[in-house]
């Protein structure tokens, strides 16, 4: 499984648009092959910070997701609405048994 985390800090004047675009992106992504889960959350300590958590079946599914034109459009649109660079981290993960 591939685990992806990321964050974006919206400018105060763009928070509603970041929320709208993020929810649209999450809902679209959930329907893609290989998507196990895809969510966006607002940071309790910084209401301008949106945190993304995704699980993908494998690297091929994630690469296919990155290749979807709407995914690239989302990233481009987000860049103009944030106050600092977005972050993304990608992990190979395995479920821990018996914990």
CATH numbers and ranges of domains, the chain: 2-92 (3.30.70.100)
Report CA dihedral (61, 78, 19, 92) to the nearest 10 degrees. Answer: 30
Over residues 62-90, the mean pLDDT reads 97
> Tell me: the pLDDT tens digits for 31-71?
999 999 999 999 999 999 999 999 999 999 999 999 999 99
Q: How confident is residue 96, by pLDDT bands cut at 50, 70 and 90? A: confident
Model pTM above 0.95? no
3-class SS string, 25-68: HHHHHHCCCCEEEEEEEECCCCCCEEEEEEEECCHHHHHHHHHC
């Amino acid at each position: 499984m591939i685990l992806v985390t990321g964050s974006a800090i919206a400018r105060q004047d763009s928070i509603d648009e970041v929320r709208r675009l993020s929810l649209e992106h999450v809902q679209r992504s959930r329907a893609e092959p290989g998507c196990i889960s895809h969510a966006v959350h607002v940071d309790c300590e910084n209401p301008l910070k949106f945190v993304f958590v995704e699980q993908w079946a494998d690297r091929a599914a994630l690469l296919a997701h990155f290749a979807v034109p709407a995914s690239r459009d989302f990233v481009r649109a987000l860049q103009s609405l944030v106050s600092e660079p977005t972050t993304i981290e990608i992990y190979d993960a395995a479920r821990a048994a018996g914990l």
